[in-house]
Amino acid sequence: MRVMIAAAILAFGLTTTAHADLRYYIDHDVLRKNDAPTLLHRAMRDIGRNPTGWSHRWCGRQMAMWVGGGSNLAREWARYGKATAPKPGAIGVMNGHVGIVKEVQGNRVILVSGNHSGKSGNRKVGIGSYSMSRFIAFREP
């Protein structure tokens, strides 16, 4: 039933406040059924795709999908959960970008993140290497 409602909303472009609330509810209902065991597994499963459907500035939205809710803004993830050391599975937050730590190699953090690889407007989930000094926080649920 929920799938039919979501399809109707997309097909007919229903945009009233009531429909916007319904769309939000459906998104979170689907997201919470994510069966991957860890955030890193969820992130790795999406490499090469853009599950959000957004074309710009969607790394925060992707993180919200992996976690099952939260902010669409990257920097807001610096307040999520509790502080942790940079380690596999942690949420790595930079000014303007957020992702899941895949590994730490000395002074480099290997990050799986949305809005990473590809041409602007057509980016995908990808893996990148960033200097540790770029990070403002590492968080975990």
Q: Which tens digit of pLDDT belongs to each residue from 52-90?
A: 999 989 999 999 999 999 999 999 999 999 999 999 999
Give the chain's mean pLDDT.
Answer: 81
Mean local confidence (pLDDT), 95-113? 97
Which tokens in the block code for residue 97?
Answer: 């970008």
Q: Which residue is associated with the tokens 């459906």?
A: 26
Please report which helix (H) or strand (E) contains residue 56, including its range.
none
For domain 37-140, give its CATH number from 3.40.50.360, 3.50.50.60, 2.60.40.420, 3.90.1720.60.
3.90.1720.60
Please tell me what DSSP assigns to residue 85. Answer: -
Domain ranges of the chain: 1-33, 37-140
pTM listed for this prediction: 0.74
Looking at residue 45, its pLDDT comes to 94
C-beta atoms surrounding 5 within 10 Å: 15
Mean of pLDDT values over 41-55: 93
Q: Give me the pLDDT at residue 118, please.
A: 76
